[in-house]
């Protein structure tokens, strides 16, 4: 996708470079801090324009906390300007506007939607543009957008600022402690700034810093009210435009601008990032600016702030505005809040039809069985290896080092509630977007029901899960949270149900396949206890006797296994092969020449601002005949034990999945706490303790791996922030090295709290680290450029 550079704005006439260095007509920060008390407790409603970005909901979370009410999130092509103007001025629905970051360039109208109209027409509404929003502010007033000296993603810079109100109570300059995270490839050319825009912030550290470098350099900084800091603020505020450019143009990158008479601000860096210092203070300052500006202006004095999701405003229609109008071919929403403000969603129960299923749980516990029978492999093979392990699953914690994973779950086709659901997107959905697909349901008797799901798989699964009721007392004494239910996989092509417009490649396997597991075994690796569980429908009284029979029979088999393992069996050593032998058996899909060309194309996309990161891969294939899939998995778990391994055998689909991963995608516990454990940055273990320690430090201090890890942490914060309580998302540890059997990795946990049980359905929507509902641009890039589906599905 092309990026036009150095183009004069088509939205405003060209303005000469010279202009007065006047400051805004409202008072400076030092004069206003004590004029009014209690502004922090005033609710402020923000219209948050989402430029299809990966970090919009990090801004959403910050604004929700600072403003005391959640903002309304609208994508940049979701409303017409006429409808936005009606909401802003006729209904007075919003106090200020924040324009999010995003992929692309403000020189392309498709990348910024209605942002130019907002920036040019909303002269009396406070506006804060972040990254792409900052560049758009410069572009619409005539500034040129150019390539930065280098793409900067996930790296930090120290910031020097002018002391304007947006930076009130924030230190400035080198070693001041004000370090920010940058994700951008393009910048505003400071030489092209029109007279309307005043530069207010610059980088003060060259080159950029890695996260750990920024931490180590934070030992020295000025106190906020020290003489050195005060003089730095005064000096910065008195700089004229010409002296600023002359002093800083060679070594400083423009990081902030403000309009000389409108309450419009732009920041090139990301104040919402987990590693940006004083980010929340910036949002608080913007709120203070909004409150003060609104109180002085008659147009804003009676602006209404409505309770989220309850105001009649969000049901309004206007005779001059049809809510069926479209912008870029997309219908407008009838409800301002709709799905973009997750805290305002209507009850999902209203969507559910059919009778509720009341599930009851029966279970038994065998103390300290695991070590007596020789491990989980012996249990699985004893109970499920007959009939070639068909229709079985094993969520396997084959590595339990450092208490990363405590439980393993296994089961097979069992009781009356067991079923397998298989979903395949329709041909039309695969090519043009979400147009439903075909669902097959196979019950425990082998009876198959087929239906077409017009609203898609996630809608079906949501209604299915919401139809279950249970008694908490049945589960209260169990130390784990999964006690039966759906186990399986969700394919990448279901991204069309998450916002992607199409699929370039049609999968040869189902797009989703899951078992409903009603009988299962749970292994507690910490205590060695084994649990036998079975769930049944309370309304079917005859099912109870069948459940008790299965519990008794399974317990008998497990106890009998003790006697079988009194004599240790000689374990046959696995034959080893050299890497060359394996290479000879595999065929690589792409040649070295083509792969290097694809790498160069990725770098071009990143440099032009189309993506933060692209993970390019290729496939290696090998034909196998008469392979024993279970033996393959058993060898895998032995050679590469991992805390989150898995075996899934869908016999009817002729499909087996063997998985070994140190990374847990998401975990939701019974208290509603959601935890993600992203991993970015991996290095092999050393052959000696000394070499191992060196490699560990090499990973920890790798600038590339730190940047990548910071990106994925911010991405996951964004995605889970869509469904969680404002202010609950936090990162207790960052850049933590974790060691596994074969590798060291960088990966912190990110726990938070769901806003309600109704939000749990959205956890099925894959996030940035897998599929990404909001990273559509980053999905389109590989889809459009690759002739085969050999791009990694880990695209930001």
The residues annotated with a catalytic role in the active site are: 131, 270, 272
196 Cβ neighbours under 8 A, 6+ residues apart: 15, 19, 141, 259, 260, 261
As a whole number of angstroms, the distance between CA 425 and CA 498 comes to: 13
Question: Comparing C-alpha atoms, which of 565, 556, 571, 630 is closest to residue 394?
Answer: 630
Q: In what order do the strands lie in the sheet with 448-453?
A: 448-453, 437-443, 419-425, 512-517, 485-490
Q: Is-contact 253 190, C-beta < 8 A?
A: no
Q: What is the Cα–Cα distance from 243 to 261, expressed in whole angstroms?
A: 21
What is the biggest distance separating any 2 CA atoms in the chain, rounded to whole angstroms? Answer: 91
Among 194, 185, 197, which residue's Cα sits nearest to residue 102? 185
With residue 561 as reference, give the H or E element that holds it: helix 542-564
Where does 210-303 have alpha helices with state H?
Answer: 211-216, 227-237, 241-248, 279-296, 298-301
Torsion of CA 785, 786, 790, 795, to 10 degrees: 20
CB 533 within 8 A of CB 485: no
For the chain, how are helix, strand and coil distributed in percent, rounded to 5?
Answer: 35, 25, 45
Q: Which two tokens stand for residue 778?
A: 């980053």
Q: Cβ of 471: how many Cβ atoms within 10 Å? A: 12
Beta bridge partners of 47: 72, 97
CA 624 vs. chain centroid, Å, equals 37
The Cα–Cα gap between 307 and 312 comes to: 10
3-state secondary structure at position 639: helix
Rounded CA gap, 628 and 52, in Å? 45
Inter-helix orientation angle 279-296/56-67, to 10°: 60
Q: What secondary structure does DSSP assign to 495-524, as a single string?
A: GGGTT----SS--SS-SEEEEEESEEEEEE
Q: Which residue is listed with tokens 């991204």? A: 495
What CA–CA distance (Å, rounded) separates 53 from 400?
A: 37
> φ, ψ for residue 396 (rounded to 5)?
-110, 115
Phi and psi torsions of 739, nearest 5°:
-110, 135
Nearest-CA neighbor of 328 among 654, 76, 25, 557? 76
Encoded tokens for 776: 């559509």
368: exposed, middle or buried (Cβ count in 10 Å: 0-12, 13-18, 19+): exposed
592 Cβ contact list (under 8 Å, min separation 6): none
**Quick check: 511 and 491 in contact, CB under 8 A?**
yes
Taking the alpha carbons at both ends of the chain, their separation in whole angstroms is 16
Residue 192 token pair = 């092209």
Quote the CA–CA distance of 263 and 295 in Å, as a whole number: 14
């Amino acid at each position: 996708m092309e990026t036009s550079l150095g183009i004069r704005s088509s939205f405003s006439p060209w303005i000469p470079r010279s202009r007065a260095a006047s400051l805004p007509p409202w008072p400076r920060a030092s004069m206003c801090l004590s004029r009014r008390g209690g502004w922090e407790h005033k609710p402020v409603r923000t219209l948050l324009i989402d430029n299809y970005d990966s970090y919009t909901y990090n801004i959403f979370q910050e604004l929700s906390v600072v403003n005391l009410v959640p903002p309304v999130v609208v994508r940049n092509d979701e409303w017409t300007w006429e409808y936005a103007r009606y909401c802003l001025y006729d209904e007075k629905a919003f106090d200020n506007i924040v324009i999010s970051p995003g992929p692309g360039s403000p020189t392309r109208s498709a990348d910024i939607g209605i942002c130019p109209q907002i920036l040019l027409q909303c002269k009396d509404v406070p506006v804060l543009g972040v990254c792409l929003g900052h560049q758009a502010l410069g572009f619409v007033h005539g500034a040129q957008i150019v390539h930065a000296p280098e793409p900067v993603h996930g790296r930090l810079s120290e910031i020097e600022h002018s002391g304007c109100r947006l930076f009130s109570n924030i230190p400035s300059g080198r070693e001041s402690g004000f370090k920010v995270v940058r994700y951008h490839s393009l910048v505003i050319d400071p030489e092209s700034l029109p007279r309307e825009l005043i530069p207010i912030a610059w980088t003060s550290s060259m080159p950029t810093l890695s996260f750990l470098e920024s931490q180590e350099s934070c030992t020295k900084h000025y106190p906020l009210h020290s003489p050195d800091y005060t003089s730095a603020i005064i000096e910065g505020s008195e700089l004229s435009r010409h002296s600023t450019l002359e002093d800083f143009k060679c070594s400083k990158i423009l990081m902030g601008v403000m309009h000389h008479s409108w309450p419009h601000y732009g920041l090139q860096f990301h104040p919402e990032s987990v590693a940006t210092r004083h980010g929340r203070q910036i949002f608080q300052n913007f709120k203070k600016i909004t409150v003060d500006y609104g109180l002085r202006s008659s147009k804003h004095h009676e602006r209404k702030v409505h309770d989220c999701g309850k105001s009649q405003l969000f049901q309004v229609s206007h005779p001059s505005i049809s809510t069926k109008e479209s912008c870029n071919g997309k219908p407008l929403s009838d409800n301002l809040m709709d799905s973009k403000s997750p805290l305002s969603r209507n009850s999902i129960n209203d969507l559910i039809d059919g009778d509720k299923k009341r599930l009851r749980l029966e279970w038994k516990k065998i103390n300290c069985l695991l070590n007596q029978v020789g491990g989980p492999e012996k249990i699985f093979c004893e109970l499920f290896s007959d009939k070639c392990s068909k229709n079985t699953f094993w969520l396997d914690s084959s590595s339990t080092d450092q208490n990363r994973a405590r439980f393993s779950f296994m089961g097979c086709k069992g009781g009356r509630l067991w079923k397998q659901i298989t979903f395949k997107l329709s041909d039309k959905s695969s090519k043009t977007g979400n147009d439903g697909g075909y669902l097959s349901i196979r019950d425990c008797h082998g009876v198959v029901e087929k239906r077409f799901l017009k609203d898609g798989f996630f809608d079906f699964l949501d209604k299915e899960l919401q139809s279950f009721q249970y008694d908490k007392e049945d589960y209260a004494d169990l130390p784990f949270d999964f006690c039966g239910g759906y186990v399986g996989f969700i394919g990448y092509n279901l991204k069309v149900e998450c916002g992607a417009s199409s699929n370039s490649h049609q999968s040869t396997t189902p797009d989703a396949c899951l078992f409903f597991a009603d009988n299962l075994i749970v292994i507690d690796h910490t205590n060695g206890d084994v649990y036998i569980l079975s769930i049944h429908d309370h309304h079917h009284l005859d099912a109870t006797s069948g459940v008790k029979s299965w519990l008794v029979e399974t317990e008998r088999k497990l106890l009998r296994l003790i006697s079988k393992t009194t004599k240790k069996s000689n374990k046959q050593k696995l034959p080893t092969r050299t890497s060359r032998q394996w290479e000879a058996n595999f065929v690589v899909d792409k040649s070295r020449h083509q792969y290097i060309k694809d790498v160069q194309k990725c770098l071009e996309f990143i440099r032009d601002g189309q993506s933060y990161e692209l993970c390019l891969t290729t496939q290696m294939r090998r034909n196998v005949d008469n392979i024993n899939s279970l033996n393959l998995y058993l060898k895998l778990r032995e050679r590469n034990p991992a805390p989150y391994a898995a075996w899934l055998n869908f016999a009817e689909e002729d499909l087996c999945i063997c998985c070994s991963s140190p990374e847990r995608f998401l975990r939701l516990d019974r208290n509603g706490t959601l935890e993600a454990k992203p991993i970015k940055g991996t290095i092999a273990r050393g052959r000696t303790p000394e070499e191992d320690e060196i490699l560990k430090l090499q990973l920890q201090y790798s600038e590339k791996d730190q940047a990548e890890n910071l990106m994925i942490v911010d991405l996951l914060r964004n995605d889970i922030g869509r469904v969680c309580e404002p202010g609950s998302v936090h990162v207790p540890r960052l850049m933590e090295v974790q060691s596994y059997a074969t590798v060291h990795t960088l990966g912190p946990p990110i726990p938070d709290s769901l806003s309600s049980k109704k939000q749990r359905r959205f956890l099925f929507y894959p996030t940035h680290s897998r599929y990404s509902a909001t990273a559509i641009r980053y999905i389109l890039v590989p889809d459009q450029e690759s002739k085969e589906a050999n791009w990694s599905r880990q695209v930001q």
